[in-house]
Amino acid sequence: MPTEREKMVAGELYDPEDPELVADRQAARDLTERFNQIPVSDEPRRTELADDLFGSVGDDVYLEPPFRCDYGYNIHVGDGFYTNFECVILDAGRVEIGDDCMLAPGVHIYTATHPLEAAERVKGPEYTKPVTIGDEVWIGGRAVLNPGVTVGDGAVIGSGSVVTDDVPANVVVQGNPAEIVKELE
């Protein structure tokens, strides 16, 4: 019988109130609270806490506080990752971010979702869809990436965009829902 955590990571319906998951979320909140209180001048300590929090971390990673996430261990970032202030990653599912990616202030990435049928939804189960972001992606301020999207290498997400579908490589998308407005060379 799979655990609720195993079901969560597999994208199956799971109970978010499972004691193990509640404890995992609390541990992540404790780490992010400590991270967010570290002085900007103490970069080594912030890098150490990011290493403790995330599932995997590349080289030359920089997170501006405040930063928030659900679990942390489902977040995997490549080399040269940068996120500006007020980033939120709800990582019940896997979030894979490639090399040399930049997130502007207030970017939100969501993997958790809920049943569409009200009778099932009010019972409380959730499920997840992973989010994958390629290399050299720039995501503008206050953009939202919804569960299950993939963003191709070199793409640019305009500020305030809501990404509901996959984004091909080397394009600029913007709007709600985000649509391609330009192809890049």
Q: Catalytic amino acids?
A: 114
Q: Give the count of alpha carbons within 13 A of 51, CB side only.
A: 10
Query: Across the strands, what pairs with 63?
Result: 83
Whole-number Å distance between alpha carbons of 167 and 173: 8
Residue pair 45/38 in contact (Cβ under 8 Å)? The answer is yes
Q: Where are the alpha helices (DSSP H) in the chain?
A: 4-10, 19-37, 43-53, 118-121
